[in-house]
Structure 1
Amino acid sequence: MKIDIQPLDNSYSDQLIDMILNIQQKEFNVPITIEDQPDLKQIESFYTEAGGNFWGAFIDGQLVGSIALVKFDERAGAVRKMFVKKEFRGKELNIAQELLEVLILFCRENGIDAIYLGTVNILKAAIRFYERNHFVQVEKENLSVRFPLMNADNVFYSLIINQTV
Structure 2
Amino acid sequence: MIRIQTYQSEHCQGIIDLILPIQQIEFQVPITLEDQPDLLEIPAVYMHGNGNFWVATNGENQIVGTIAFIGFGGNRVALRKMFVAAAYRGKTYGLAQQLMDMGIEWCQERQIESMWLGTVPKLEAAVRFYEKNGFDKVAAENLPPEFPRMAVDTLFFCKFV
Q: TM-score range by the shorter chain?
A: over 0.9
Name whichever of 53-62 and 5-14 sits farther off: 5-14
Deviations 1:67-110 (A, max 9, x none): 10010121000000010011111111110000011111111111
Structure 2 alignment gaps of length 5 or more: none
Distance 1:112 1:146 in 2: 15
Asked if the contact 2:72–2:146 (Cα under 8 Å) also holds between the matched residues in 1, the reply is yes
**What corresponds to 1:144 in structure 2?**
144
Deviations 1:36-92 (A, max 9, x none): 111111111111124310011111111100010010121000000010011111111
**What corresponds to 2:114 in structure 1?**
114
Task: Note the C-alpha offset of 1:18.
Answer: 1.1
One-letter amino acid of the structure 2 residue matched with residue 68 of structure 1: A
Name whichever of 45-54 and 75-84 sits farther off: 45-54
One-letter amino acid of the structure 1 residue matched with residue 68 of structure 2: A
One-letter amino acid of the structure 1 residue matched with residue 21 of structure 2: N
Is the counterpart of residue 90 in structure 1 residue 90 in structure 2? yes
Distance 2:5 2:160 in 1: 24
Normalization by structure 1: what TM-score?
Answer: 0.94
**What corresponds to 1:48 in structure 2?**
47
Name whichever of 21-30 and 48-57 sits farther off: 48-57
**RMSD (Å) for aligned C-alpha atoms:** 0.9
Structure 1 alignment gaps of length 5 or more: none
Aligned residue pairs, count: 160
Asked if the contact 1:52–1:77 (Cα under 8 Å) also holds between the matched residues in 2, the reply is yes
Normalization by structure 2: what TM-score?
Answer: 0.96
Structure 1 runs of 4+ aligned residues shifted over 4 Å read none
